[in-house]
Amino acid sequence: MSTKTNSSHGSATSATTGASTGASTAQLRRVLGVPSLVLFGLVYMVPLTVFTTYGIVTQMTGGRLPMAYLITLVAMVFTARAYGHMARAFPFAGSAYTYTQRSFGPGIGFLTGWSLMLDYLFLPMINYLVIGIYLNAAFPALPAWTFVLATIILVTVLNIVGIVSVTRASIVIIAVQTIFIVVFVALAIVSIGRGASLDLLAPFNGTGDAPGFAPLAAGAAVLCLSFLGFDSVSTLAEETRDPKKNLPRAIMIVTIAAGVIFVGLSYLAHLVLPSHAFSSVDSAALDVVGVVGGQFLVAFFTAAYVAGAAGSALTSQASVSRILYAMGRDGVLPTRFFGRISSRFGTPVIAIVIVSIVSLLALVIDLGLLAEMISFGALIAFTAVNLSVIKHYFVAEHLRRGSRLLNYLIVPSVGVVLTLWLWTSLSPRALIVGLIWLAVGFVYLLVLTRGFRRPTPMLDLKD
């Protein structure tokens, strides 16, 4: 659960209002520096996402979750550098889609955007799923599907009637999660200190039941989910002082800081509970938290985690419904269904309902496959951004000498190799489903362009 809590989902209607009042001619104030950008990026990523796939990847890697996070972090550092280069060249919304479209043309850009749509559609779903898992653990008398269905209905209704902003609620949620992390770390250190014997390398060596490097690679591929949003600071380009310098720096700091948090929390958790014979692999974090702080900390964690997931479900469903509406308005998707705004509520009701229907898959899909599917879309985008650096700077701009050769060819090439390696390390079922999704996108592109005889439509991915 990459609990994204942005509040820009009112943009679909606010643009019209801004135009009518003359606001469209105003310019945003450049007031943000690196500290503000870093804080925004870390808030957007949410540190507690480390516990979303804790049990799954722990078992997958044989108890080597911190090592898997380190591998993912290395790949993300190279990719963050690529995002920084492209944010400097194209400081616009749209992120990977914009960078690929500007570098390789609208066709490749469309397919990159199509792969990102997989993430946009599945992010609400994974939030609903983990809400069901953890509330069912807290209230076992009620099946998980009841919580999933109730949350989908509640979030759908709230999005239809219109939620202007959840910024204040998001700040509270982040504050609560931060307090939990501080308490967890303190109690974990105390718990570890009470132990008679301690193997500090155990979280990296594992238990030996999943030896070799292949399990680590498979786990690292899934963990790309945790890093979704490190590029979120690029959306603040027009409000940043000296964006060509500060945006790349902030993206890199956010990536490294998040990686350190993920490695640190998972490392402490494995020292506290070296075993990975969990009560439930999907809610394994509860076993760890219970060892550290008993039932009180379990209740605290459940409340903080579920609140974060609910906030993320609300904003991510709102964002993807606005994207679908914009695509319907522009003719990329059928306008009759997607390109309509409710005259009563002023929201894209049909698009919101369609996202809710897709999210019902949370009733039957398992957490591991869902996490892998989100990582599939993310890794496609990460690879595309690394390639975009080579295409834009090294090929198109002819920046090929001295340090430029290192920055614009060698380093992004390593990024391409690492992200493709992680991508191929996903499970066969994830690769099959993801490739089918890409094939559908390619066929749909052929239909839209009449076999490339018409211009490729532009996707509006300003989430």
Q: Which residue segment(s) compose the domain that 319 sits in?
A: 41-89+121-368
Report the distance separating Cα 166 and Cα 273, nearest Å: 36
Measured CA distances, 433 to 115, 325, 355, 381, 398 (Å): 12, 25, 19, 16, 38
* Residue 350 lies inside a defined structural domain of this protein: yes
The DSSP 8-state label assigned to residue 347 in this structure reads S
* Residue 102 lies inside a defined structural domain of this protein: no
Structure tokens given for 275: 């075993």
For the chain, the distance separating the N- and C-terminal CA atoms, rounded to the nearest angstrom, is 17
Per-residue pLDDT at 461: 56
Per-residue pLDDT at 28: 55
Report the distance separating Cα 84 and Cα 273, nearest Å: 38
Per-residue pLDDT at 224: 92
| 399 class by beta-carbon count within 10 Å (0-12 exposed, 13-18 middle, 19+ buried) | middle
Backbone angles phi, psi at 32, to 5 degrees: -90, 135
Per-residue pLDDT at 342: 81
Average pLDDT, 10 consecutive residues per value, the chain (463 residues): 41 40 50 82 81 93 94 95 88 74 86 85 91 94 94 89 60 83 92 77 85 92 88 72 85 93 94 89 93 92 89 82 79 81 82 92 92 91 94 92 92 95 92 93 89 76 54
* Contact present, 282 and 144 (Cβ < 8 Å): no
* Residue 463 lies inside a defined structural domain of this protein: no
* Residue 395 lies inside a defined structural domain of this protein: no
Measured CA distances, 295 to 79, 208, 289, 291 (Å): 40, 31, 8, 9
* Residue 332 lies inside a defined structural domain of this protein: yes
Per-residue pLDDT at 79: 94
- Torsion sign (Cα): 161, 166, 168, 170: positive
* Residue 253 lies inside a defined structural domain of this protein: yes
Per-residue pLDDT at 235: 65
Per-residue pLDDT at 437: 93
* Residue 171 lies inside a defined structural domain of this protein: yes
Instruction: Give me the number of domains the chain comprises.
Output: 1
Structure tokens given for 226: 């945790």
Per-residue pLDDT at 423: 93
Indicate which CATH number applies to the domain containing 167. 1.20.1740.10
* Residue 389 lies inside a defined structural domain of this protein: no
For residue 126, give every residue at least 6 positions away whose Cβ sits within 8 Å of its Cβ, in sequence order, or none: 1, 2, 52, 362, 367, 370, 371, 374
